[in-house]
Each structure stands twice: as C-alpha cells, then as structure tokens.
C-alpha cells in the first residue's frame, strides 16, 4: 500500500491533531493486550499525525467542511460531516466498550453514529459506520432496525462472511481508501447543494460542490 498517497491527500484536506501523538510503544501495548494488528496505513497515520482536525474557516467565504458522501440516502442522511478524530487514548478507552462489535476501534464520532476500523485478524482493516440515532428514518428503515436490536446487530456483524446488519455501512476497504473519499468543500455551497439533493431524495451531487485544497505546509494559524 502506498502511504505517500494517503499523506498527500491528508495534507490537502485537514491538519494534524494538536493533541499528543501516541508512541510506537503505545501502539505495541494496545496490539499485544488485544491480540490485534493495526493496519500499516492507520498505524503510520497515528504516529505521524496523531489524528486529524478539520479546517472550518477556509476559502473566500471563510466557511469550509470535510465530508464523506454516502452512495445512497440511508437513515435520512446523504453524507456525514467530520470535525476531528478521537485521540488514540480515547480510541483505546472505547475499544470493545462503546456498544460496538468486538475488534472495532472507533476513531470518529459524529452526531448520529460512530466510524470505526475493524481489527479482527484477517479482516483487512475495513472502515465501517454504525448508526445510533434514528430520528426521521423512513418507515421501511424503522421496520428493518425494529426487527433487530443494536446489541443483536453487533453480535451478528461478520464482514468476513458478508454479514453486515443494516445498522452498519461500509465506508472503505482500508483507512487510505476512506480518506481518499473525503471531500474538503466550501460550506455555503455545500449547504445549498445538500438541501436540494436531500429534499429531492437523491444522493449528494458532488459534481456541484466547490472543493478546496489546502496549500503546502498550511497550518490553522495561516
């Protein structure tokens, strides 16, 4: 896997977390305690960046967002807005204790759910999202989740055997794959496009979004 591609993308859409980075020993201790291996790209991200922070005041409007656009509307959402990642300390504290399936390391929290990396051996480090708020969902979706409690869905979750309950959405085959799909965009334009697409029941039309790229060596103090 080419991690250069990962860090080139990261540098264009976000800045490193200002919080303390984990050490190599911190990562080894987590792996040994839980008998898992962090994927190489995610490991390098933690060591070099510690986490990411969104730049929310960029561009001529001074309004910018970092988003992941879903391929279709699900749980009344067509995208999620990302502010920052959890600290590694927070990830470790929440591992196997955050109403998630086993082997799931949460690294982003949003208003209505959690994004995590799946660390089960031989599962290839896929990135998934679990919904935990169901306000405004369609009647059909209410039936789907009503027939399966969240705890039962977590017990059933088994991507290796293509068992992914409706509560979950796969966002990427790897951490790099997930990051490459993120869009750093103008906030005002995003709001207009989002509202129009949402009201029409369509996926977010990313071709209409104004996308930004941070200049080289950008910092939030620029």
pLDDT at 220 over 60: no
Q: Which of 125, 130, 106 is nearest to 116 (CA)?
A: 106
Query: Helix 40-48 to helix 3-13 angle, to the nearest 10 degrees?
Result: 50
Residue 71 binned pLDDT confidence (cut-offs 50, 70, 90): confident
Instruction: Specify the DSSP class assigned to residue 85.
Output: P
pTM score > 0.85 for this model? yes
The per-residue pLDDT for range 96-144, each reduced to its tens digit, is 876 899 999 999 998 889 999 999 988 779 999 998 877 777 788 888 7
Q: What is the Cα–Cα distance from 102 to 176, expressed in whole angstroms?
A: 22
For 3-208, the fitting CATH number among 1.10.4190.10, 3.40.1580.10, 3.90.1150.10, 1.10.10.10 is: 3.40.1580.10
């Amino acid at each position: 896997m080419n991690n250069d591609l990962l860090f080139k993308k990261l540098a264009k859409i976000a800045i490193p977390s200002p919080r303390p980075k984990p050490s190599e020993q911190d990562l080894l201790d987590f792996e040994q305690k839980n008998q898992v291996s962090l994927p190489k790209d995610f490991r390098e991200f933690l060591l070099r960046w510690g986490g990411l922070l969104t730049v929310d005041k960029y561009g001529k409007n001074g309004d910018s967002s970092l988003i992941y656009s879903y391929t279709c509307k699900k749980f009344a959402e067509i995208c999620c807005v990302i502010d920052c990642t959890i600290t590694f300390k927070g990830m470790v504290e929440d591992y196997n204790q955050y109403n998630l399936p086993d082997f799931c390391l949460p690294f982003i929290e949003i208003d209505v759910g959690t994004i995590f990396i799946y660390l089960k051996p031989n599962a290839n480090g896929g990135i998934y999202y679990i919904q935990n708020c169901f306000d405004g969902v369609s009647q059909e979706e209410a039936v789907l989740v009503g027939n399966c409690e969240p705890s039962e869905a977590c017990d059933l979750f088994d991507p290796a055997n293509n068992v992914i309950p409706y509560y979950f959405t796969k966002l990427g085959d790897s951490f790099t794959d997930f990051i490459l799909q993120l869009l750093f965009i103008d906030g005002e334009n995003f709001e207009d496009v989002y509202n129009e697409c949402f009201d029409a029941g369509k996926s977010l039309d990313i071709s209409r979004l104004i996308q930004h790229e941070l200049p080289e060596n950008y910092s939030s103090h620029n």
